[in-house]
Structure 1
């Protein structure tokens, strides 16, 4: 189990939406830029790690009951993405690391893979 605050601190990341409770627990991580792959995941307490920064990422997360999204490679969240995520209670985080580096750090932190 990893807290949102742990992720933010370890990755020098920024919370864009959903910073009201940084003690929320995240158990699993899944990294993908393919939203079709994300739709196949049925896991609670999941952090989606992606570089795909568009509204489809937020909509896919909503459909998949994903509450945490971490954007890598210094991708920036648009105002529309932030609004949609906030409406749906999705925490958005941005970090400057590559997807590979991010996954390595989160694995060391104790985040479990989906498979």
Structure 2
């Protein structure tokens, strides 16, 4: 398990929504830009790592009970995405790392893959 605060620190990430969640623990990570793959997941306390920054990402995460989303490659969260995520008690992060580098760093601090 990894604390969200460690994710923010190690990736130099910006918390866009969900500032109160930094002490929560994340059990698993999953990286994808394909939301159809995200819909197949069945894991609790999961961090979705993606570069797909649109409303569909938020809606798919909501349907999959994903509360933590990290946007990589310096992708920016839109106002509409932030509003929808905050309504659904999600935590959104942005970082400038590539998906590969972000996953490497997260693995090195103990975040486990879904499979």
**Normalising TM by the smaller chain, what interval?**
over 0.9
Q: Give the corresponding residue for 2:109.
A: 109
Q: Give the corresponding residue for 1:79.
A: 79
Over 3 Å off, 4+ runs: none
Q: Give the corresponding residue for 1:50.
A: 50
Gaps (5+ residues) in structure 2?
none
Q: Give the corresponding residue for 2:98.
A: 98
Aligned length: 115
Root mean square deviation of aligned Cα: 0.4
Gaps (5+ residues) in structure 1?
none
Cα distance between partner residues in 1 of 2:5 and 2:62: 22
Q: CA deviation at 1:49?
A: 0.1
What TM-score comes out, normalization by structure 2 length?
A: 0.99
Cα distance between partner residues in 1 of 2:21 and 2:113: 23
Is the Cα–Cα contact under 8 Å of residues 21 and 91 in structure 2 kept in the other structure? no
Q: Give the corresponding residue for 2:6.
A: 6
Q: Give the corresponding residue for 2:32.
A: 32
Q: CA deviation at 1:40?
A: 0.2
